Structure 1
Amino acid sequence: MNSASATLEPFNPFSEALHSDPYAVYASYRSRDPVHRGLASAPGYPESWYIFTYEHVLEILKEERISNERQAISSGQMTPSQLLFYEALSHWLLFRDPPVHSRHRRLLSSAFSARNFAGWKTEIEEISTRRVQAMIGSTQADITHDCFRVVPLEVIAKILGLDILDIDTMLEFTDSFARALDFRTDPSVFDRAAKNIKALDALLIPQIESRRTQAREDLLSRLVEANQEAQFSDRELVYVVMLILTAGYETTINQMGNGFIALMHDRPQWELLCRNEVKMNNAVHELIRFDPALQVMSRSVLEDVKIGGKLIRAGDDLNLMFGSANRDPSMFEQPEKLDLARANANRNLTFGHGLHFCIGAQLARMETVAVLEALIEQCPRIRLDESRPVRWKNHISLRGPQSLPVVV
């Protein structure tokens, strides 16, 4: 340990201090020990590495000796519920390396095409406008509950063509999967997720079979059609839909909430947006940089590698601190300041980079733009309700408000 890091406590990803405002903590490690060995972030590891600077996070995202696949827990240590959950995760492209990753990405790329995104734009705008309008006049409005949590789910259900899924059912699915993804050790978390995987499987298999005989104009039909070449099993397609539901919902609801809080805390920036004095797309990039929903992503080390002059051994657990990298002053001038006109806001690393850049990033940005435009049009004077405090979710990797009371 060098002298700069000698007085630092080992980084603790479970610390309560990270829930409401992690950025002061990140700044300390970023400046004093940017490639840091701290407390274990997941079962099966004695310790974990945490990477805090933009330069090193980007370096690792390009590094072939570092894997997206978690390797610490052997099947012999898992409960049946954990086995089922990690079996599902093994079919999520964000947790796979080539060539398996390439096979999954080809399937999803054909469905998430530019033409399909363009076709979804009007429906996303209509859903967003309707949900914002429904809040107007409420004396107990909670924008997370009334708008941010509902818009992504309605959008996903609509584009997948799954009108059989109601909002409460989708919320139960996505919440249980996200909590299990947070690498908690409580067995009940995995039991709940496994129960919902089985329920989702029972719902989707008949829908997949139906699309084979009678295709519709929806994303599920496009996945089934594209699968004629990829030749996934029906259960693998269920796991692909599970990924779309979870990643498409959890990151978007949290990003909307974080961005909204940032704008309400910096009213001049909100007013610039309302007066159309900054470009909306750039503003969304800056909101994603400033307070990202995805704070950390784990990797496994395949071969010994040096990062920032430190030797990281094969088999070590490594965590990319996106929230810290996006506040690195070596990349972003005055990173603690929200600047909707920031010239390099789109250089944020929230959605990854290169091979593993998030395939749904454009959809998440489209939804955020649509909600912000609806808020500006319908209720530009909206503000946080200071009589009812914001409550933050108790997640490690995902950051976002559980409750966000507003005055409309």
Structure 2
Amino acid sequence: MLRYEIKKVFSKSKNRIAVIVLFVVLAITSILTINRVEYVDENGNSSVGISAARYLREAKNQWSGYLTADTLSKALEENRTINSSKEALSDDITEQNKAYAKKQGIAGIMDVIICAFSDYRDYNYYVTNQVSDDEVGTIYERRISTLKNWLESGEERFTQAEKDFMIQKYKELKTPFYYKYIDGWAALLQNISTFILVLALVIGFLVSGIFSDEFQTKADSIFFSARFGRSRGIFAKVGAGFYITTGFYLMFVFLYTFIVLFVLGADGASCPIQLDLWRSVYNITFLQAYLFIVLGGYIGTIFAATLAMLASAFTHSTPTAVIVPFIVLCVFPFLSRIITLPGLCSFFPDQLLEIYLDIKEAGLITLGSKVTTIATVIVPVYAVVCLIFQPILYRVYQKVEIK
């Protein structure tokens, strides 16, 4: 019966078209993500794609290793030498691009130095001109002191417990950072939330008719009067919704990840996320950040799909059920911009698909005497809610009366 319910979903031409659209979105999103990584050759010409990623990886991995005071000082000296070259001092854009081409290997290191010596929410590109060799080795201490200065400035309102939490997380970060090419993971994480959103909406569309089809085709009396209609039949529908949601989510996330990392390279999975997101309070690697984002997206997709199926079971209307994921995942973010309860907005289900933003700029919450990030709370909470919804969905459809 489970196989029959799944086959019935994909027997509809509109659902097959939705799958085709999803493959098109996969291709477009993959190309846009791949094009985020750019390489400039010695002649000042820029390129993207497989070759660009390969050359950029070779350039950056020449500087791979721990960012100690010695390495930072060498990178700073290299940057000064390039900045004083005739290409860098030229007014010609092509000549300036030639100078930039020589910097690509140390670009990530210079980003770290710039972030360390800029104000908390600032990025002063020219600050490296003022940094001495003795100062550059203090980037990890400056990361903590810059945070403290910002917290004491009053620009943002935090409780003392929240301030202590952020400072403690900064202190717990393992240093020195290990540097190598991480651009493939950085590009992947920046775009994956958008792809997961589209994926969740399409999955919601696919499962929205599972519980309303019998009413649309006037076959409800046959279904509920069958021997196992109110038991195994309903269980098969619940199972079909779960398998379609899980199967499609895992398949398309895997395809997107595989395409991007195959082209751009998977180097740097174990590097700290702070190489790209300097202010993050999450002391995790790029791989751990990716898994956290994917997990949050999966829970959010399951939640939206389950609500769509509940709407389908309650209203017996497929169009109504289709709208539900859109409201949950698209309308809620819009409301979060105009609603006067920003704390409440942080717990909307759409935030499950925005874990990347929470890793970048963590939202904090106090539970009793413990401070933690919002993402670490909403993921398990919504996971439990999704589990609770499954038997509710079963019971709602089981109690349907035939008219």
Higher relative contact order (CA 8 A, sep 6+): 1
TM-score (structure 2 length as normaliser): 0.24
TM-score (structure 1 length as normaliser): 0.23
Q: Which has the larger radius of gyration?
A: 2
Higher share of residues assigned helix: 2
